[in-house]
Structure 1
Amino acid sequence: MNVQQRDQYAIFKQKFFDWFLTEEDFTDLPRIIQALITLLQKEFHLLDVTFYVLNPFKHAFEPEVTTDCMIKQRREHASIPFDSHLKEQFDDVMIIDDGSEIKTVQFGVYFPEDSCSLVRFRIHERDMLPTSFIKQMKHDFLKVFARIRKVSEVLSEEKRYEQLHRATTKIHASMNIGDVLEEIVKTLKDVYPAFTCHLFLSHDSTTDRDLPIKLLTFENEDEHMGAMKAYVTGHIQLYDSLVHKRSVIYAPIKGAQGIYGVIEMIAPTVMELPEREIRFISLLANTAGSALENAKLYEQSKRLIADLQLINETIHHLNTNLRFQDALKFMIEKIKTSFDAQEVGFILLQEKERKVLPGSTPFFESKEARIYVDFVFRRIQNARDTLFLGDVKIHSDHTKRFRSLMAVPMMRGMMKGVAIVLHQEAYHFSFDMFKLLQSLIHHSTLAFTNAALREELERMVITDRLTNLYARHYLDERIQRSMEEDGLGTFILIDIDNFKKINDTYGHQVGDEIIIQVANIIKANIRQNDIGARWGGEELAIYLPKVSVHTGLSIANRLVQKVRELTDPPVTISCGVSYWKKNRAHSVKELFNRADEALYTAKRTGKNRVVVQE
C-alpha cells in the first residue's frame, strides 16, 4: 500500500472505532455485520458488499447480510456453490474479471467450530484496490469479526440466561400445568426464533391451550424414535438429517420423581448444534421438568383433597337414613356428575338372576345393555376383581357404542352385585377416576346394605309373616292417615268360609296354604297403594283409599269369584264392606264395626257373598 492508501485505511479504522464505541447492542450479530459492510462500502467506494455463511447441507454459501438490493429480493437464487475450485482458492483473495468495468472481489474467512464465511464485493475498475490492500482488509476483517462474534456470543449467552432466569422464576411461581407449558414454549421461541419447537407429553400432562404439543405414544415409533428414546433413557438425543437438511435435539423434561415429556428442537440449516446450545436446552428442560412436577403434584394434591371431600360428603349423605332407592339415585347422580359418565348402572345378583336396581340410567333396562352386563359378570367373579378398560372390545354389533368402561363389585352382606360406568369416548376415564370409583363403591356399599337392611326390618315389622300382607297395626295407621288426608275410602273385611272344617279335614298345614292362596289372590287384584292386611286367624282385610263404595263392591265381588275359581282345595269367602266420606263424621272403629256387621250378615245369609253396611 502507498502512503495515500495507508492514510485512507487509517481513516476507515478510525471511523470503525468511533462506530464501535457508539454501538450498544452486540447481541444481534447480523445487524452488526450489516453495519460493518455498509461502512466498508461507503469508505472504499464499493458498489455493494455481501456477507455469506456456509450451509453445510447444501454445500453452498448463502447470503446472510448484503447491501445489494437485487440479492435482498432474490436470496434463494444468490447462493455460491462451495465447489472444489472455490475450496482451492478460499484462503486467497479472488478477483473475478469478466471483461467489464465492474470487478468482483471475494475472500474466505475461517472461524472456530469449523464454520466459515465468504465476503464478496463489487467495485468499479477506476476505484480498484491493490491486492495487498484487500489482503490487509481480509486480515483485519477476520480479527474484528472474530472479536465481535465472541462479544456477541457472550452477550447473547448472558441474555439467554437472563431469559432462563425470568422463565424459571415465572414457571416456579405457577402451580398450573398450562401456564408452565406455555412459558416453556415462549422461552424457547424467544431464544431460538429460527428453530421449530414441539413438546412431546404423556396423556396426563396435556393442556387444552393452543401449544405445539404432541402425545407420546408407541404409535409412529419410527417417526418419533428420538423422542421415545429420550423419554425412556432420560438422556439427550441428537439427530442430524442430511435428507431434511436439519439437526434435531430431543431433551427429556425431567423432575425428581420421573420424566414428564420431551422437548423437540429442530434447527434448520445447522449441521451440528454447538455444545453451549445443547447445555442451555438441557438446562431449560430440567427446569421445566422440576416446575411441571411441582404443578402436577399440586394438582394431584388438590384432586386428592377433592376426592376425599366427595367421598366424605357422599357417605355422610348416604348415612342420613335415606331410603334405599333414594340413596341409590343420589349415588348414581354423583357418579354421573363427578366422572362425566354417560351411563351408570347398579346390577344386583339375586339367586343367579340379575336385577337392575331402580335409579340406574334407562340404558341398563335395554336389550343392548345385556351385552355389557354379561361381559362384566364374565370378567368379575369375586370381590377383588375390577374392570378398567379404555377401549372396550366386545364382539357384538354394539362393540363401538361404549368404549370406556369401569366396573367395581359390591360385595358386603346381602349386597352382591356390581356398579358399571360407561362412556362412548375411548380412554375417557383416567386411572385416578377409577381408583376414586373403587373407594366410593367400597364405602357406599355399607351404606346401601344398611339402608336395605333397615327397609327389610321395617317391612318385617309391618308385614304378616305367613301371608306377606301387611300387619293389623299398619292397616290401622294407614286408615287413620287416609281419614286425615283423603276425601273418602272403602274397607273390605274378608273371612274364609267353613275354615274349621278345612283344618279338620286336611290339617292345619293345608289350612295355612289356603290362607296364603287367598292372600296372593288379594295382592293380585288390588293396586300398589291399596292396603291388603291379615286381620287375624282366617280373616283378611283390604283398605282402598280414595275409592268409592261402588268400586269397592266390584273389587269384593271379583275377589269372591277368583277365590272360588283359583283355590285348591276350593274354598269360598264372605266379604263385609263399609266406607266413609269426608262430609260425614267417621272413626276407624266405626268403619271396622260396620264392616264386621256386614260380614256377619253375609255369613248368616248363605256365605260366598258380599254385603255392604250403609
Structure 2
Amino acid sequence: MDVQERDQYAIFKQKFFDWFLSEEDFTDLPRIIQALITLLQKEFHLLDVTFYVLNPFKHAFEPEVTTDCMIKQRREHASIPFDSHLKEQFDDVMIIDDGSEIKTVQFGVYFSEDSCSLVRFRIHERDMLPTSSIKQMKHDFLKVFARIRKVSEVLSEEKRYEQLHRATTKIHASMNIGDVLEEIVKTLKDVYPAFTCHLFLSHDSTTDRDLPIKLLTFENEDEHMGAMQAYVTGQIQLHDSLVHKKSVIYAPIKGAQGIYGVIEMIAPTVMELPEREMRFISLLANTAGSALENAKLYEQSKRLIADLQLINETIHHLNTNLRFQDALQFMIEKIKTSFDAEEVGFIILQEKERKVLPGSTSFFQSREAKAYVDFVFHRIQHPRDTLFLGDVKIHSNDTKRFRSLMAVPMMRGMMKGVAIVLHQEAYHFSFDMFKLLQSLIHHSTLAFTNAALREELERMVITDRLTNLYARHYLDERIQRSMEEDGLGTFILIDIDNFKKVNDTYGHQVGDEIIIQVANIIKANIRQNDIGARWGGEELAIYLPKVSIHAGVSIANRLVQKVRELTNPPVTISCGVSYWKKNRVDSVKELFNRADEALYTAKRAGKNRVVVQEY
C-alpha cells in the first residue's frame, strides 16, 4: 500500500471513527452493519455492497443487508452457494472479472467455527482498489465487526434485562391472569421481534383476550413433542426443524408450586443460541411462571372466599325453618345461578323407586331425562361415588344433548338420592365448580333431612295414625281460621252405620280396615285444601272452606253412594251437614252442634242418608 493509498485509507478510518462516535444505539446489529457498508460504499466509490450470512441448511450465503436495490427486491434469489470452489478461496480476496468494466470483489469473514459471513461489493475498474487495500479492509472489517457485535450483544443484553425488569415489575403488580399473560406476550415481542411466539397453557389458565395461546393437551403429541417435554421435565428444549428450516425453543413457565405452561419461540432461521441467551429465556419464563402463579393463587383465594360465602349464605338460608319444598326450590335456583347450569334435578330413592323431587327443572319431568338418571344411578354404586364428566355420551346413537354432567349423592347415613347438574356445552363446568357442588350438597343434605323430618313430625302431630286423615285438634284450628278469614264454609259429620255389628261379626281388625276404607274414599273425593279428619271412633268429619251448602250436600251424597259401592265388607254411612256464612253470628261449637243434630236425625230416619241442619 503506497503513501496515497495509506492516506486515503486513513481518511476512511477517521470518518469511520466519527461515525462510530455518533452512533448511540448498537443494539440493532443489522442496522449497524447497513450503516457500515453504506460508509464503505461512499468512501471507496463502490457501486454496491452486500453482507451475506451463511445458512447451513441451504449451504448457501443469504443477503442480510445490502445497498443493492435489485438484491433487496429479489432477496430470495440472491443467495451464493457455499460450494467447494468458494470454500477453497474463502480466506482470500476474490476478484470476479467477467470482462466488463464492472468488477466484483468478495472476501469471507469467520466469526467462529460454525459462523461465517461473506462481504461482496461491485466497483468500476477505474476505481479499482489494490489487493493490498482490500486485504487491509478485510482485516479491519473483521476486527471492527467483531467489536461492534460484542458491543451490540452487551447493549442488547442490558436492554433485554431492563425490559425484563420493567415487565417483572408490571406483571407482579397485577393479580389478573389476563394482564399477566398480555404482558408476557408483549415482553417476548419486544425482546425478540424476529421470533414468532406462542403460549402453551392448560385449560384453567386461558383467557378470552386476543393472545397467541394454544391449549396444552396430549393430543397431537408428535407435533408438539418439544412443548410436552418442556412441560414434563421442567427444562428448556431446543428443536431444529429440518422441514421448516427453523429453530424452535420451548421454555417451561415455572412457578414455585408447579409448571403452568410453555413458551414457544420460533426463530426466523436455524440458529445456535449461546448459553447466555438460553439463560435469559429461561429467566424470562421463570419470571412469567412466578407472576402467573401469584395471579392464579390470588384468583383462587378470591374464588375460595366466594365459595365459602356462597356455602355459608346457602346453608344459613336453608336452616331458617324453610318448608322442604321451599328449601329445595331455593337450592336449585342457587345451583343454576352459581354454576350457570341449564338443568338441575334432585332424584331420591323411595322403596327402591326413583322419584324426581318437585322443583327440579322441567327437563327432569320428561322421558328423555330417564336415560340420564339411569346412567347416573348405574355409575354411582356407592354413597361416596361422584360423577364429573366433560363430554358425556348417554345415548347409543351418539346424540349429545347435554355433554357436561355433574352428579353428587345426597348422603345422610345411606345414600338417599342424587343431585344432577347438566349443560349442553362440553367441558362447561370446571373442577373447582364440581368441588363446590360437592360441598353444597354435603352441607345442604342435612338441612333437607331436617326440613323433611320437621314436616313429617308436624304431619304426625296433626294426622290420625290409623286413617292418615287429620286429627280433631287440627280440624278445629282450620275451621276457626277459616271462619276468621273466609266468607262461608260447610261441615260434614260422618258416622259408619251399624259399626258395632261389623266388629262383632268380623272382628276389630276388619272394623279398623272398614274405617280406613271409608277414610280413603273421603280423601279421593275432596280437594287438596279441604280438611278430612277423624272425629273419634267410627266417626269422621270433613270441612269444606269457601264451599256453599248446596255443593257440600252434593259431596256428602256422593260419599254415601261411594261408600255403599266400594267398601268390603259393604257398609253404609250417615252424614249430618251444617254450614256458616259471614253475615251471621256463629261459632265453631255451634257449627259442630248443628252437624251433630243433623247426623242424629239421619240415624233416626233410617241411616245411609244425608241430613242438613239449618240455622
Short-chain TM bin: over 0.9
| 1:368–1:398 contact (8 Å) kept in structure 2 | no
Cα distance 1:579–1:70, how it changes in 2: closer, same or farther (>3 A)?
A: same
Using the alignment, how far apart are the partners of 2:269 and 2:495 within structure 1?
104
| 1:415–1:445 contact (8 Å) kept in structure 2 | no
**Pairwise mapping of residues 170-181 of structure 1 onto structure 2 (< 5 A)?**
170-181=170-181
| 2:383–2:415 contact (8 Å) kept in structure 1 | no
Using the alignment, how far apart are the partners of 2:230 and 2:32 within structure 1?
38
- 1:57: Cα distance to partner? 2.1
- 1:63: Cα distance to partner? 1.7
- 1:507: Cα distance to partner? 2.0
- 1:265: Cα distance to partner? 1.0
- 1:312: Cα distance to partner? 0.9
CA deviations over 1:282-321 (Å, ceiling 9, x no partner): 1111111111112222222221111111111111111000
Using the alignment, how far apart are the partners of 1:411 and 1:127 within structure 2?
98
CA deviations over 1:119-172 (Å, ceiling 9, x no partner): 111111111111111111111111111111110110001000111111111112
| 1:392–1:399 contact (8 Å) kept in structure 2 | no
Using the alignment, how far apart are the partners of 1:398 and 1:557 within structure 2?
58
| 2:564–2:570 contact (8 Å) kept in structure 1 | yes
Using the alignment, how far apart are the partners of 2:6 and 2:433 within structure 1?
82
Higher deviation after alignment, 585-594 or 303-312: 585-594
Give structure 1 stretches of 5+ with no counterpart. Answer: none
- 1:509: Cα distance to partner? 1.8
Higher deviation after alignment, 539-548 or 401-410: 401-410
What is the match of residue 135 of structure 1? 135
Using the alignment, how far apart are the partners of 1:414 and 1:285 within structure 2?
51
Using the alignment, how far apart are the partners of 2:123 and 2:535 within structure 1?
127
| 1:96–1:104 contact (8 Å) kept in structure 2 | yes
Paired-residue identity, %: 95
Using the alignment, how far apart are the partners of 1:404 and 1:548 within structure 2?
55
Cα distance 1:247–1:436, how it changes in 2: closer, same or farther (>3 A)?
A: same
| 1:226–1:237 contact (8 Å) kept in structure 2 | yes
- 1:450: Cα distance to partner? 0.6
Using the alignment, how far apart are the partners of 2:574 and 2:410 within structure 1?
49
- 1:114: Cα distance to partner? 2.3
| 1:241–1:247 contact (8 Å) kept in structure 2 | yes
Cα distance 1:14–1:91, how it changes in 2: closer, same or farther (>3 A)?
A: same
- 1:410: Cα distance to partner? 1.5
| 1:63–1:75 contact (8 Å) kept in structure 2 | yes
CA deviations over 1:222-278 (Å, ceiling 9, x no partner): 111111111111111211122210111111111111111111111121232222221
- 1:398: Cα distance to partner? 6.5
- 1:112: Cα distance to partner? 3.0
- 1:67: Cα distance to partner? 1.6
Matched position secondary structure for 1:459: helix
Higher deviation after alignment, 323-332 or 92-101: 92-101
Q: TM-score, normalised by structure 1?
A: 0.97
- 1:545: Cα distance to partner? 1.2
Using the alignment, how far apart are the partners of 1:167 and 1:520 within structure 2?
79
| 1:344–1:360 contact (8 Å) kept in structure 2 | yes
Using the alignment, how far apart are the partners of 1:236 and 1:21 within structure 2?
39
Using the alignment, how far apart are the partners of 1:555 and 1:396 within structure 2?
53
Using the alignment, how far apart are the partners of 2:248 and 2:557 within structure 1?
93
Higher deviation after alignment, 75-84 or 183-192: 75-84
- 1:202: Cα distance to partner? 1.5
Using the alignment, how far apart are the partners of 2:423 and 2:129 within structure 1?
81
| 1:415–1:449 contact (8 Å) kept in structure 2 | no
- 1:393: Cα distance to partner? 3.1
| 1:494–1:599 contact (8 Å) kept in structure 2 | yes
Using the alignment, how far apart are the partners of 2:415 and 2:33 within structure 1?
82
Higher deviation after alignment, 319-328 or 585-594: 585-594
- 1:414: Cα distance to partner? 8.4
Using the alignment, how far apart are the partners of 2:435 and 2:373 within structure 1?
21
Using the alignment, how far apart are the partners of 1:75 and 1:4 within structure 2?
37
Cα distance 1:591–1:415, how it changes in 2: closer, same or farther (>3 A)?
A: farther
Using the alignment, how far apart are the partners of 1:136 and 1:187 within structure 2?
42
| 2:371–2:395 contact (8 Å) kept in structure 1 | no
Using the alignment, how far apart are the partners of 1:211 and 1:406 within structure 2?
31
Matched position secondary structure for 1:579: strand
- 1:609: Cα distance to partner? 0.8
| 2:391–2:404 contact (8 Å) kept in structure 1 | yes
Could you list the structure 1 runs, at least 4 aligned residues long, displaced by more than 4 angstroms after superposition.
none
| 1:386–1:407 contact (8 Å) kept in structure 2 | yes
Computed over aligned residues only, the root mean square deviation of the Cα atoms, in angstroms, reads 1.5
Using the alignment, how far apart are the partners of 1:527 and 1:344 within structure 2?
31
Cα distance 1:413–1:474, how it changes in 2: closer, same or farther (>3 A)?
A: farther
Cα distance 1:222–1:418, how it changes in 2: closer, same or farther (>3 A)?
A: same
CA deviations over 1:396-424 (Å, ceiling 9, x no partner): 34752222222221121587111111222
What is the match of residue 421 of structure 2? 421
- 1:453: Cα distance to partner? 0.6
What is the match of residue 96 of structure 1? 96
Question: Between Structure 1 and Structure 2, how many residues are aligned?
Answer: 614
- 1:395: Cα distance to partner? 4.8
- 1:390: Cα distance to partner? 2.2
Using the alignment, how far apart are the partners of 1:442 and 1:348 within structure 2?
15
- 1:588: Cα distance to partner? 1.8
Using the alignment, how far apart are the partners of 1:415 and 1:283 within structure 2?
53
| 1:250–1:263 contact (8 Å) kept in structure 2 | yes
| 2:462–2:471 contact (8 Å) kept in structure 1 | yes
Cα distance 1:398–1:324, how it changes in 2: closer, same or farther (>3 A)?
A: farther
| 1:38–1:67 contact (8 Å) kept in structure 2 | yes
- 1:94: Cα distance to partner? 1.3
What is the match of residue 373 of structure 1? 373
| 2:202–2:260 contact (8 Å) kept in structure 1 | yes
What is the match of residue 451 of structure 1? 451
Cα distance 1:175–1:130, how it changes in 2: closer, same or farther (>3 A)?
A: same
Higher deviation after alignment, 477-486 or 513-522: 477-486
**Pairwise mapping of residues 404-553 of structure 1 onto structure 2 (< 5 A)?**
404-412=404-412, 416-553=416-553
Matched, 1:349 2:349: yes
CA deviations over 1:170-192 (Å, ceiling 9, x no partner): 11222122122111111111111
Using the alignment, how far apart are the partners of 1:581 and 1:396 within structure 2?
64
| 1:56–1:269 contact (8 Å) kept in structure 2 | no
Higher deviation after alignment, 349-358 or 506-515: 506-515
Cα distance 1:413–1:152, how it changes in 2: closer, same or farther (>3 A)?
A: closer
- 1:444: Cα distance to partner? 0.9
Using the alignment, how far apart are the partners of 1:398 and 1:578 within structure 2?
64
| 1:57–1:271 contact (8 Å) kept in structure 2 | no
CA deviations over 1:380-403 (Å, ceiling 9, x no partner): 223222222222233534752222
| 2:53–2:64 contact (8 Å) kept in structure 1 | yes
Cα distance 1:242–1:415, how it changes in 2: closer, same or farther (>3 A)?
A: closer
Matched position secondary structure for 2:477: helix
Matched position secondary structure for 1:193: coil
CA deviations over 1:472-526 (Å, ceiling 9, x no partner): 1111111122222222211111111111222222222221111111100000000
Higher deviation after alignment, 521-530 or 588-597: 588-597
Using the alignment, how far apart are the partners of 1:88 and 1:579 within structure 2?
126
Cα distance 1:430–1:113, how it changes in 2: closer, same or farther (>3 A)?
A: farther
Matched position secondary structure for 1:452: helix
What is the match of residue 604 of structure 1? 604
CA deviations over 1:33-90 (Å, ceiling 9, x no partner): 1111111111111111111222222222222222222222222222222222222211
What is the match of residue 194 of structure 2? 194
Higher deviation after alignment, 231-240 or 455-464: 231-240
- 1:376: Cα distance to partner? 1.7
Using the alignment, how far apart are the partners of 1:386 and 1:66 within structure 2?
68
